[in-house]
Amino acid sequence: GAVLLGLTVSAVQADTWTVDDDGKADFNNIQAAVDAASDGDTINVAPGTYTHDTGEVVFMSGKNIILQSTVLHGAVIDGQGTRRGITCTQGEPASTLISGFVIQNCHTGGGGGGFLISFSSPTISNCKILNNSANTGGGVQAEYCNSTWIDCEFQGNSVNTDGGGAFIKNECDIAMTGCTF
């Protein structure tokens, strides 16, 4: 006799989430969308100014996602002078993409005012990193990573000790193409 095996195959479907600070979307803040997203998802952020009430505006949580502004430089991540912009410290791969944002007025007493990248390798494209401050790496501090930066602008970032625009250290290979300081 023949044996019939019933196999169930479930395809993993990537989701697209929307963020709008006016509330006409899935979320009204970026962090809530990142928290809800799964690997492979896309988060589209509408024009507006986004902040958060914790240590950083966006903590990427190791997610392999696309986080993008729907209008080039229309979505602003603003640290209000009291918090870091974006943190990637949980093994985000090169396929994690952060694109089209203005990251401004971010601050930390440690490293990486605009971005802190450690043990992660996200791709950052078409971002403006403006007027951020930190003890080291006002715009970005990167270590133990292989990150790619494409067409980003660094301007007005400041530090107390090292690396106004970018502070790259400790076994970090950053590829920058078309970036201006």
Q: List CB contacts of 115: < 8 A, sequence separation 6 or more.
A: 84, 85, 86, 87, 88, 103, 124, 129, 139, 140, 141, 142
Could you report how far apart the first and last alpha carbons of the chain are, in Å?
73
Mean pLDDT, contiguous 10-residue spans, the chain (181 residues): 49 88 94 98 98 92 98 98 97 98 96 95 98 93 93 93 76 89 87
pLDDT of amino acid 13: 81
